[in-house]
Amino acid sequence: MDKIKILANDGIDDSGKKILEEAGFVVITDTKSALELPSFINQQNIQVLLVRSATKVRKELIDECASLKIIGRGGVGMDNIDVAYAKEKGIEVINTPAASSQSVAELVFAHLFSCVRFLHQSNVAMHHVENCHFNELKKSYSKGIELRGKTLGIIGFGRIGQSLASYALGCGMKVLAYDPFVEKGVIKIAIEEQTPIEITIKTKSFDEVLTTSDFISLHVPMPNNGQPIIGEPEIKKMKKGIILINASRGGIVDEIALLNAIHSNHIYAAALDVFNNEPEPSLHILSNKNISLSPHIGASTIEAQERIGAELAEKIIAFFSK
């Protein structure tokens, strides 16, 4: 009997690949372009297609590839997959919702610390060795603020949002959360070998999070209507001087409204890991010194990728063991 072939078009961690190969699967990690993908899947009789954020799996590809039995997303969001259509066609769609929560939460806090202490600006300025006016820079970047005692608003209180809350509580911050599908979250804070401390956070209204928070971090999927959830009306409700962070989806923040709010000083700073036009973000976004930037790396830690690979492998093996 021929071995089942898996195409990990956006790659898979070596640990996940090893688990699958030891279970008898053939794992192909060659990256195929959108034009190459349908013919390669058909010629190789690929039954499992694994993607991350780069590869799009739309209706046209699904219709062209009758051999597919599983489409897997290494990560949380599946905006790049026509999930409902795939399921209509009898294709199993899987993802790894728990594997990257901690990594994304830590990146958010890296950006938050960077913004409140101007690290994204001072690091760039001090690399200009010939023009590093040390005393002037020291004066410019000496008005940072502390996180302790401030309020972090979390929009989207699933696994990532709740993981983020645990870091905020550990920093002595207050947490406000909004999620239309989550009434409360039980946050566990572990200290070495001790029994974890459990703190219950009840979600609040969207407007309360917008109007009360000192910082806001977004952790939601793209709405079905494709419209941003944070635009000019929502920004106007926020405190003046807020810091806004998006490590969720490009498109859920109106980037023009964001730039305008930064220009008017209503938004003090922003941090973006995702963008409207990946992989070619707006030059206006890239050149704005008040925005801390990273190239969509929220889940890109060694530990998270190992967990993602292992979780995908387990789900694939379970599916074909039925």
pLDDT tens track for 64-116:
999 999 999 998 888 899 999 999 999 999 999 889 999 999 999 999 999 99
What 8-state DSSP symbol labels residue 249? -
58 in catalytic set? no
Task: Kindly report the pTM of this predicted structure.
Answer: 0.90
Query: Would you state the pLDDT for residue 226?
Result: 85
Q: How far apart are CA 253 and CA 238, in angstroms?
A: 14
Q: How far apart are CA 298 and CA 246, in angstroms?
A: 10
Q: How far apart are CA 240 and CA 211, in angstroms?
A: 10
Catalytic-role residue among 249, 255, 307, 311: 249
Centre a 10 Å sphere on the Cβ of residue 83 and count the other Cβ atoms it contains.
Answer: 16
36 in catalytic set? no
For residue 1, pLDDT beyond 70: no
For the 101-293 domain, the top CATH level (class) is: alpha beta
Catalytic-role residue among 36, 60, 64, 278: 278
Catalytic-role residue among 159, 296, 307, 311: 296
One-letter amino acid of 278: E
111 in catalytic set? no
Query: Would you state the pLDDT for residue 129?
Result: 66
Q: Same topology for domains 5-97+302-320 and 101-293, yes or no?
A: yes
Q: Using an 8 Å Cβ cutoff, are 98 and 159 in contact?
A: yes
| Boundaries of every domain in the chain | 5-97+302-320, 101-293
Q: How far is CA 255 from the centre of its chain?
A: 17
- For 181, the enclosing helix (H) or strand (E) is none
What is the three-class DSSP state of 34? coil
Tell me the fold of 5-97+302-320: Rossmann fold (3.40.50)
pLDDT in tens, 196-244: 899 999 999 999 999 999 999 999 988 888 899 999 999 999 999 999 9
Confidence band, pLDDT 50/70/90 cuts, at residue 49: very high
- Look-up of token digits 């070619």: 280
